[in-house]
Each structure stands twice: as C-alpha cells, then as structure tokens.
Amino acid sequence: MTTMVRGTKFAAPQSRRRVVVGTLALVASITAVSGSALAQGQRITRQTQAGPYRLVLQIGKAEAMQMRGASGTGERMVRGRPAACRMGSMAGMSMGHTTCNHHLELHVYARAGGKVVDHARVLIRLVNTATHRITVVPIMTMMGREGMSDLHYGNNIAIASGSYRVVVHVHGISAAFAVRLT
C-alpha cells in the first residue's frame, strides 16, 4: 500500500528539485533522523494508525489543481472547499490572498483490508509548536491521475516555515503528526 500512495505524480517534481541539491540535502539529513518518517526535500510522508484507519500524511510543494473532468495533468478536485491561498501568478490578482506554498494531503485507508476510504469526515489543522498559531486546512477531496487509489483529503496552504503538529480527525478519530516545514 505504501508504494501505491507514493504515486507517479511526485516523480517529476522530485527530479526538478535536484537542481537545488545544496539546500535540500541539509533538509533531508534533518528529517531523516525522525523515526520511520520519509522525507525527501520539501516532500514529507508520515503514517500512523488510528482506530479503524491507516492514515498517510503527505506534504509537498503547492500543486495546480483543476475541476473534475477538465483535461490536463494537475490533480482533480472532487468536492469540498477551495484553498484560502492562491497559486503563484494568480496571487497578485486577488487582493487579500497569500500565495500557496505547500500541498497537504491525508490518505485514509481501512486498517483491515487497506481499502481507500471515500466520503470521510476529515478535519486537519496545523499547530506551530513555537508560536501555537493554528492553521486550519479547508478540506477538499482530490485525486491525481491514478484515480480512486489516490483519493485524499487536504488542500494547498500558505504557511510559514517551522515545526508543526498536524492534528487530524477522521470521523472523530484523531491522530497527530510532527513535521518540520521549510
């Protein structure tokens, strides 16, 4: 199952990121020591089990998303709330919106059998461990070109670098992940 969620959509961004190896090598060496966590540059993957669920949290760079049915290579929005931030060049056109700098997604699987859980009631917030500032993620259900196997909950977010506790609730069952965002 782990290999499934590490889908092909990350292949291109990773190879592009090798250009800035200097900075990323340092980040990788810091994050590599945190237990079973897998982190490559700005991409973070954490997983845990909570109640009847296996939860996989992934945080990478902000991603272009498109309406369901539209052609193109971006992730498709299935349902839910739009991001509070704007992508790159669009940010300047909409006053009051910050530029998205991360894409956060939570994959929810049934612990027994591993099936992807659709229509889950999900809440996600990030708590900055230094400032205690809370960022609530507006929940959008999305999927990459892989389709249902990639179905996940989350959104693009604009967030300052730092250490965070990512607190998630799935149908009232909670779990938390420690991450360091750069």
CB closer to Cu ion, 24 vs 62: 62
Question: Which positions lie near Cu ion, rule CB under 5 A?
Answer: 75, 105, 142
Angle at alpha carbon of residue 151, lines to 99 and 74, rounded to 5°: 45
CB closer to Cu ion, 142 vs 175: 142
CB closer to Cu ion, 38 vs 64: 64
Closest residue to bound Cu ion by CB: 142
Min separation Cβ 120 and Cu ion, Å: 14
Contact 53, 111 (CB under 8 A): yes
Min separation Cβ 90 and Cu ion, Å: 17
Min separation Cβ 103 and Cu ion, Å: 6
Q: Is the dihedral of CA 155, 160, 166, 171 positive or negative?
A: negative
CB closer to Cu ion, 13 vs 129: 13
